[in-house]
A = this chain, B = another copy of it.
Amino acid sequence: VPTYHWEDFALGDVADYGPRVVTREEIVAFAAEFDPQPMHLDEDAARASMLGGLAASGWHTCAILMRMLCDWFVLDSSSMGAPGVDEVKWLRPLRPGDSLSIRRTVLETRASNSRPAMGFVKFHYDLTNQTGATVMTLVTPMMLERRHPGSAVAGGRETAVQA
């Protein structure tokens, strides 16, 4: 039985996780497979780009965040996945050797209208580097099983619960 269910996240909750170091080898390997723009692959090309030096693909930053979330709480939760992402902002380059930390804030929590066993939690993630500067922010809803399915159902009709 996982530790975290839908009921374990409340509006406004803030929690922190990290750090996790990102290497040059990882940055170049991801870029070679998924985003082979020269600014993510080659130091000289990157220096001449807006990034001012080698930096990770923004999609790599998203993937690293996902892995950190898995290691932190997702794999020990009743996660049912996510319907998408509301917003991603790539604010600063992610450099080789950077050390990433996450601040997670709960923006919204509500029961599913159609599935009594499920709830949604909308998270805001702030990913910072070793200087405390924000590299990326991301807002995404997560679907989780409820510890007490259907407790919001009244008179045979489910009522949405907004925390």
Contact = CB atoms under 8 A, between A and B. Distances in A.
Contact of A85 (B34, B74, B75, B87): B87
A84 interface: yes
A39 B79 CA distance: 10
Interface stretch (A16-24, A56-64, A96-104): A56-64
Size category of the A interface is 20 to 34
A59 B140 CA distance: 12
Contact of A37 (B34, B63, B79, B84): B79
A75 B34 contact: no
B49 A59 contact: no
A51 B79 CA distance: 12
B87 A87 contact: yes
B85 A50 contact: no
A148 interface: no
Nearest to A71: B36
B81 A36 contact: no
Contacts of A74: 37
A89 B79 contact: no
A80 B35 contact: no
Nearest to A93: B81
Interface of A: 30, 33-37, 39, 49-51, 57-59, 62-64, 66-67, 70, 74-75, 79-90, 143
28 contacts: A34-B66, A34-B67, A35-B63, A35-B66, A35-B67, A35-B70, A36-B70, A36-B75, A37-B74, A37-B81, A39-B81, A49-B80, A50-B81, A57-B66, A58-B81, A58-B82, A58-B84, A58-B85, A59-B59, A59-B66, A83-B89, A83-B90, A84-B87, A84-B88, A84-B89, A84-B90, A86-B87, A88-B88
